[in-house]
Structure 1
């Protein structure tokens, strides 16, 4: 028989993880190459996409509007699957603002939420979705 086909992991990357992968060097930056190689399926929904664009515009990153548009057009849209939320989720995370990542993961049937946020990481698991750190996800991709 043929080789077993490996199923691609479906993943929600929280905003801080995406921004770190796009703008900084280090462990998290490895994710940029991995999503460009289609080694996993990253998800965004309207709420998480809106937050990403807002965060990229923070003055501390010194990005122009043109640079942000280029990042979105070249680094995000070709590789991320944009989904519609089936429903809002509340009460999962201490920070209500983090519930959008859980809602995105549920709606997109994600396997993981990858986060650097201590409050979100503290949840560990929601339904079938594991909430893990970047280094744990990178290790998983190597197996």
Structure 2
């Protein structure tokens, strides 16, 4: 999942289904040092202070640690029309992800990359229902 979805997870209850999926071991979270760094930089932005606490962020980082897998990213990918998002494609490739869950239109337009389907969270929920 990309950083914007994790921010949505912290702000609203819309993505709380992630907790259930993790506990049922239906999903594994993939991270790289770059994706974790981006997340930490974004949650520290002053505009988010009123939406969630530092404790909320710490709890989410514990969730990452418990249910996540740190991937050593070695691939250099230049596919996305927004070059800043290429690191997510590299992570998906090197982590052999089945899905990259995002709301980012620059990624969604790709649809599939190196065996990874690029979908919204809603599309992902529909996919795993079956």
1:83-112 deviation line (CA, Å, top 9, x unaligned): 11022212x111111101100000001111
Which residue in the other structure is 2:83 paired with?
A: 96
Bigger radius of gyration, 1 or 2? 1
Gaps (5+ residues) in structure 1?
Answer: 1-12
Q: How many residues of Structure 1 are paired with residues of Structure 2 in the alignment?
A: 128
Matched, 1:47 2:34: yes
Say which structure, 1 or 2, has more relative contact order (CA 8 Å, 6+ apart). Answer: 1
> What is the CA-CA distance between 1:64 and the residue it aligns to?
5.1
**1:22-33 superposed matches below 5 A:** 22-26=10-14, 28-33=15-20
The structure richer in strand per residue is 1
- My pick for the range that moved more, 120-129 or 99-108, is 120-129
Which residue in the other structure is 1:82 paired with?
A: 70
Which residue in the other structure is 1:20 paired with?
A: 8
Q: Normalized against structure 1, the TM-score is what? A: 0.80
> What is the CA-CA distance between 1:14 and the residue it aligns to?
1.0
**3-state SS, counterpart of residue 19 of structure 2:** helix
- My pick for the range that moved more, 124-133 or 15-24, is 15-24
**1:55-74 superposed matches below 5 A:** 55-62=42-49, 63=52, 65=54, 67-73=56-62
Q: Normalized against structure 2, the TM-score is what? A: 0.87
> What is the CA-CA distance between 1:128 and the residue it aligns to?
1.3
> What is the CA-CA distance between 1:22 and the residue it aligns to?
3.1
